[in-house]
Amino acid sequence: MVEQSVFSYLKEHEQEMLEDLVGFVKKESPSYSKELVDQCGKYLTQLFQKRLGVGYEIIEEKEVGNHLKFTIGEGEKQLLIIGHFDTVWEKGRLSLRTEGNKLYGPGILDMKGGIVQSIWAIKAIQELGLPLDKKIVFFCNSDEEIGSISSKKYIEEEAQRSEAVLVAEPAVAGSGALKTSRKGAGIFTVKVWGRAAHAGNHHKEGINAIEELARQVIFLQSLTDYEKGTTVNVGTFTGGSGTNVVP
């Protein structure tokens, strides 16, 4: 059976897959650090060249990391595989470590592991001589964790050219299920203006913007409804200019 042949091939190369993943994860890539994300992207291009022998296209960005596109094979029709290589965690926040038969580190699951698996899936198809009558396009974006702010248009363009789109995002943790859909996300900035005043001499004249913002945070957090699948998270909060000034 074809499935068994592919599985056997991947089992034989499991150690190499792990080595690729460890090297990839070591190139930490927090979304807001263009320098680190681009260094990670350079490793990824080398990985594609090493395992699949393909060239690449760099889509340069000024504010976020560069996006990468890899094309494998030929054909009028194409399949699109999407994977992001940016991560949530700032550099040094998570350690790369092994506990039992599990590997931990920034991006291990979401979603550097998915990209490595996808590369090796195509390599297995090539090495086993399985038929492939469509070209495969990998689009690897650098800004998914912050809303795909610059990559969205490229993803949409490639998706419209494709017969099918596969996203190597991890399934629900622990279930091993195939993820077939995902809820949408929105990112908003709330700004509050008050009236500045000296907190000692003119406290009465001030209007505290932080107090109002705190009320809004409590309200927004209360909109979370797990049964409906709605989650609201206030992730950052800043304000004020000094401890002795009404903000």
Of 86, 81, 82, nearest to 107 by C-alpha is 86
pLDDT at 173: 65
What pLDDT score was predicted for residue 171? Answer: 73
Report the topology of domain 2-167.
Answer: Aminopeptidase (3.40.630)
Quote the pLDDT of residue 175.
74
What pLDDT shows up at residue 181?
77
What confidence score (pLDDT) does residue 217 get? Answer: 97
Lookup: tokens for 72: 């494998």
* Model pLDDT, residue 178: 77
Domain span(s) for CATH 3.40.630.10 in the chain: 2-167
**In the block, which residue shows the tokens 């499991």?**
14
Q: Find tokens 């263009």 and name the residue.
A: 34
First to last CA, the chain: 69
β-bridge mates for residue 90, sequence order: none
Residue 139 Cα distances to 30, 149, 152, 155, 210, angstroms: 19, 15, 11, 7, 42
Distance CA 133, CA 111 (A): 27
Alpha-carbon dihedral of residues 163, 168, 169, 171, nearest 10 degrees?
Answer: 100
The reported pLDDT for the residue numbered 172 is 66
Mind listing the pLDDT tens digit of every residue in the chain (247 residues)?
777 799 999 999 999 999 999 999 999 999 999 999 999 999 999 999 999 999 899 999 999 999 999 999 888 899 999 999 999 999 999 999 999 999 999 999 899 999 999 999 999 999 999 988 899 999 999 999 999 999 999 999 999 999 999 999 887 666 777 777 778 888 899 999 999 999 999 999 999 999 999 999 999 999 999 999 999 999 999 999 999 999 9
The number of helix segments (H) and strand segments (E) in the chain equals 6, 9
Quick one: pLDDT at residue 185? 84
